Amino acid sequence: MDTPVTIIGAGLGGLTLARVLHVHGIPVTVYEAESSPSARAQGGLLDIHDYNGQLALKAAGLMDEFHAIVLEGRQALRVLDRDGTVLLDQADDGTGGRPEVQRGDLRQVLLDSLPADAVRWGHKVSRTRALGEGRHEVTFADGRTVVTSLLVGADGAWSRVRPLLSTATPEYIGQSVVETYLFDAGTRHPAAAKAVGGGMLMAPSPGREIFAHREKDDTLHAYVGLSEPQDWFAAIDFADAATATARIAQEFDGWAPELTALITDSDVAPVLRPLYALPTGHRWDRVPGVTLLGDAAHLTAPNGEGANLAMLDGAELGTSLAAHPDDIETALTEYEQAMFPRSAESGTDEMLGIDSADNTAHGLINLFTEKGQ
């Protein structure tokens, strides 16, 4: 290709695309709003699946680097009832197809696999516009512009590239997650550490649930899910950590103390994460010179597939472009025709909805049994 592929967003999907293109000798530039790779924390654990995320890493030629950052034992799973009764305690025997890695470590592997100048940091997009004949102009917040004949929006839920293709916008799904962290858990928070075990804890109930991971360095990272409208959360002053923690913990009155400790004993202020989704089956008509991947294309409620699908999107788009270097439109059509049904199927393959009467420990185990897990 005569002109570099322009990618907006240096998340896992955009970087996977950049890496696959680099492997095939196709020039690429990634523009990222963050000022540096360490500008913010990169989230928690990701289970990278052998049927999508790992396929992307194979296409990127990074399986050895991936295996080097896998956290052993983290595929262990415990399901607890609200009273602390352990209903499932599944060890990690090393044969599972979903090894866990820290998101930040995986992102760094991808960054390290690219030329030093491939990612341009501190480039926040303010707008995009079509110039005709498949060319697009990207304007950044500081007034700089770039014109490209192939623009890829890998810029997440609130994509600035998506409006070139679609009028769809993410909508609140009626659920938010409050994140907490407990450090040096085995020493400082032994009851919570025992409840979580070596991998993942799931303690569901209708409208309220607590999930947690054991991350690196004996850290417990909890995700406290609540089904409430946004104005319910707006009434809580999250700037006052003690007040917010007490208010969230109040919703779990009567739960086992080793579970509520994941809220009340947090070593950081609770962080509110409202959850949004695009319409299931979101798609668009082919527009020359531009496409989307990952959450920009198919944001869904968390179901364990988001990062994996973004990476597979990036790998398949890169592979299609490499197969059709002189015919961008054929490559984009090939990519989108595979991506649309895959993302639509994933959007309907969810765990039990938080508001379901079956969203209990017993209901979850029954679901696992039906799926043969």
Q: Which amino acid is at 240?
A: D
Q: Which residues pair with 128 in a beta bridge?
A: 138
181: tokens are: 């962290």
Is there a binding annotation on residue 98? no
Q: Which amino acid is at 47?
A: D
Handedness of CA 283, 289, 290, 291 (dihedral sign): positive
Tell me if 178 sits within 8 A of 212, measured CB to CB: no
- Quick one: DSSP state of residue 216? G
Tell me if 168 sits within 8 A of 279, measured CB to CB: yes
Is there a binding annotation on residue 144? no
- Quick one: DSSP state of residue 199? S
Is there a binding annotation on residue 160? no
Q: Which residues contact 284 (CB under 8 A, 6 or more apart)?
A: 165, 166
CB atoms within 10 A of CB 202: 19
Give me Rg for the CA atoms of the chain.
Answer: 21
* DSSP codes joined into one string, 72-96: TTTT-EEEE-TTS-EEEEE---S--
Could you give the 3-state DSSP secondary structure of residue 182? strand
Q: How far apart are CA 232 and CA 208, in angstroms?
A: 14
Is there a binding annotation on residue 135? no
How, if at all, do strands 5-8 and 151-153 pair?
A: parallel
Known binding residues are 40, 47, 103, 295
Known binding residues for NADPH are 40
Known binding residues for FAD are 47, 103, 295
